[in-house]
DNA sequence: CGTTCGTTTGAATGGCATCAATCCTTGTGG
DNA sequence: CCACAAGGATTGATGCCATTCAAACGAACG
């Protein structure tokens, strides 16, 4: 595997390069909270892993031996009922952290949606890092808080929003997160309709119908590469928040 | 309204008692992580507050100036859409913590379901406590992790479970939490059907019908005081997890 | 004893699921 | 380069579960 970004410094010990100092996902990841001089402690216990689309990162029921930080690509996280019904509980992108669990067994699965690169830490080592690096623990708590809020928004979506409102919310949220990662232009969907459906508590057909309606009504334009251009953001936001109960565009 | 606990007058310095050392909610609360000798730091910045049923603890949109620890009673936490549709995102009981948010504004409301007592901390002071007491921060992270997992279970419930499965899951979960607090016997419901409905993404009528069916089929018995006795737990758990797709009892 | 609030039950409606067919895109091999 | 296969997306027809509308019932309270 030809690593083109060789550390130009004269490394005495070995040919090993620090994966952290030059990491372009750092600004978006938990490790941004770790000062440069302590970054080596992270580097010391991580393994860089790579997954292709469709590969499984975490099997439901696996012992929770590691935690993960996504550095590129995207991932779906899901949990299932015995008979196969499934809910996707979240999509992860560059900078997202995975593996914060109370118990020692994962109660969810995770699968790559496209080519994914991530840093994997042994849970035990990570736990010790947390004790050594209070900045890191604070960052994690902060992220957990945000995730909790996002989850509560999703509870409202699943409890009370119509199919159209769900899809509109989804597109807007996905675009917002892409912008946070510095990606501009049309929202690119790395997941298929069935995944959106499992995330939104709908079926593929209903997701597709909702997309069609949003397109027909001029809120979005589908563009090549499985992406959507938001046309009238404010109107779309109004739809997403249920402002059109009685009206018809 | 005869308030029997009158503030007993202009105290010089003395009459004040440490509210923490004798607190019977401590074993269930975040403060259990704080060693005895540091407990005073918590006591120094908290206010004991009391709410009656129906009173609002937190208004949606309020500046997030405080965090809360419930010491008795129960609370509903909810968020709403502009047109009044509402989802209850959680019920809180003795030992539960409220107020972990990223932003400085609450994006949810909270209301007492019955007489509630809690400890209120100024957010700023609590933040400093967190830095001084790593045990407390670890405890909070642990709780946040568990809450996140619970939220994901709820996402699956709202996405994919039938009305009957939702209500069965709800009863079981409520009973489990009551047992964790040391309460035995029938599950006592402190919330009305409409609240259950807003929690389960249903209507009051559908919740009521599901209760009736569970009773008719011998899974639960309704007992006085708005409570339910679980009759055949394993069968009820099977219902809650969707084991009866094709069958009929 | 009447009022209010909550619960339960019944009947009808509707939004999304289900079933089904077609279209579109992508990749492969002749 | 085209034919073909396979997976995914879209659109249409029909059905069903939960909602909506409606009414009766029950408990708490003044």
| Average pLDDT of the segment spanning B153-165 | 98
| Average pLDDT of the segment spanning B41-64 | 96
> pLDDT value at position B225?
85
Task: Evaluate if residue B248 carries a pLDDT over 60.
Answer: no
Distances (CA, A) of B171 to B65, B87, B177, B189: 34, 18, 10, 9
Q: Is the distance from CB of B222 to CB of B210 less than 8 angstroms?
A: no
Task: Evaluate if residue B99 carries a pLDDT over 50.
Answer: yes
Give B51 CA → D28 C1' in Å. Answer: 21
Task: Evaluate if residue B62 carries a pLDDT over 70.
Answer: yes
Residues facing residue B80 across a β-bridge: B86
> pLDDT value at position B17?
65
Distance CA A39, CA A156 (A): 39
| Average pLDDT of the segment spanning B239-246 | 79
Surface of A (180-209) touching B: CB under 8 A? 198, 200-201
Surface of B (210-249) touching A: CB under 8 A? 241-243, 245
Q: Crossing angle, helix B163-180 and helix B233-240, to 10 degrees?
A: 130
Task: Evaluate if residue B12 carries a pLDDT over 60.
Answer: no
Give A54 CA → D7 C1' in Å. Answer: 14
Task: Evaluate if residue B11 carries a pLDDT over 50.
Answer: no
Kindly tell me the burial class for residue A188, based on how many C-beta atoms sit within 10 Å of its own C-beta (0-12, 13-18, 19 or more): middle
Q: Does residue B149 sit at the A interface (CB-CB below 8 Å)?
A: yes
Low-confidence ranges of chain A (pLDDT < 70): 1-17, 244-249
Q: Does residue A161 sit at the B interface (CB-CB below 8 Å)?
A: yes
HEC string for B139-184: HHHHHHHHHHHHHHHHHHHHHHCCHHHHHHHHHHHHHHHHHHCCCC
Q: Which nucleotide is nearest to B209 (CA to C1')?
A: C8
| Average pLDDT of the segment spanning B64-68 | 97
When pLDDT is cut at 50, 70 and 90, the band that residue B245 belongs to is low
Tell me if B131 and A134 make a contact (CB, 8 A cut-off). yes
Distance CA A230, CA B169 (A): 39
- B156 contact residues in A (CB cutoff 8 A): 79-81, 87, 89
Using DSSP's 3-state secondary structure scheme, residue B92 falls into: strand
Task: Evaluate if residue B1 carries a pLDDT over 60.
Answer: no
Helices (H) and strands (E) in chain B, counts: 7, 11
Q: Crossing angle, helix A163-180 and helix A134-160, to 10 degrees?
A: 160
pLDDT tens readout for residues B185-197: 999 999 999 999 9
Q: Among A79, A144, A153, select the one facing B141 at the smallest CB separation.
A: A144
- A109 contact residues in B (CB cutoff 8 A): none
Chain D nucleotides covered by protein, CB below 7 Å: 8-13, 17-22
Residues 6 or more apart whose CB falls under 8 angstroms from that of A3 comprise A17
Distance CA B70, CA B119 (A): 7
Structure tokens that stand for B63 in this block: 């500046």
Distance CA A53, CA B109 (A): 41
Distance CA A144, CA A97 (A): 10
Q: Is the distance from CB of A70 to CB of A116 less than 8 angstroms?
A: yes
Q: Is the distance from CB of B88 to CB of B22 less than 8 angstroms?
A: no
Distance CA A149, CA A137 (A): 18
Give B162 CA → D17 C1' in Å. Answer: 9
> pLDDT value at position A247?
41
Q: How confident is the prediction for chain B on average, in pLDDT?
A: 91
Asked whether residue A168, judged by its CB, lies under 7 Å from any atom of the DNA or RNA strand C, the reply is no
Chain C nucleotides covered by protein, CB below 7 Å: 6-11, 15-20
> pLDDT value at position A108?
97
HEC string for chain A: CCCCCCCCCCCCCCCCCCCCCCCCCHHHCHHHHCCHHHHHHHHHHCEEEEECCCCEEECCCCECCEEEEEEECCEEEEEECCCCCEEEEEEECCCCEECCCCCCECCCEEEECCCEEEEEEEHHHHHHHHHHCHHHHHHHHHHHHHHHHHHHHHHHHHHHCCHHHHHHHHHHHHHHHHHHCCCCCCEECCCCHHHHHHHHCCCHHHHHHHHHHHHHCCCEEEECCCEEEECCHHHHHHHHCCCCCCCCC
């Amino acid at each position: 595997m030809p690593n083109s970004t060789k550390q130009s410094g004269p490394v005495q010990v070995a040919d090993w390069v620090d994966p952290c100092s030059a990491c372009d996902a750092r600004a978006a990841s938990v490790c941004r909270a770790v000062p440069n001089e302590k970054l080596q402690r992270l580097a010391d216990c991580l393994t860089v892993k790579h997954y292709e689309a469709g590969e499984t990162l975490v099997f439901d029921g696996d012992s929770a031996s590691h935690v993960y930080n996504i550095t590129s690509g995207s991932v779906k996280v899901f949990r299932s009922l015995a008979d196969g019904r499934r809910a996707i509980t979240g999509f992860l992108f560059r900078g997202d952290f995975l593996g914060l669990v109370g118990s020692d067994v994962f109660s969810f699965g995770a699968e790559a949606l496209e080519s994914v690169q991530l840093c994997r830490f042994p849970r035990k080592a990570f736990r010790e890092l947390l004790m050594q690096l209070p900045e890191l623990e604070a960052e994690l708590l902060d992220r957990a808080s945000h995730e909790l809020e996002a989850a509560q928004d999703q509870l409202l979506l699943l409890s009370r929003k119509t199919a159209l409102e769900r899809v509109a919310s989804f597109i807007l949220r996905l675009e917002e997160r892409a912008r946070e990662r510095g990606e501009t232009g049309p929202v690119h969907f790395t997941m298929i309709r069935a995944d959106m459906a499992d995330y939104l508590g709908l079926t593929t057909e209903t997701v597709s119908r909702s997309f069609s309606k949003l397109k027909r009504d001029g809120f979005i334009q589908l563009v090549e590469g499985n992406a959507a251009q938001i046309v009238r953001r404010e109107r779309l936001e109004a739809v997403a928040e249920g402002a059109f109960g009685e009206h018809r565009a």
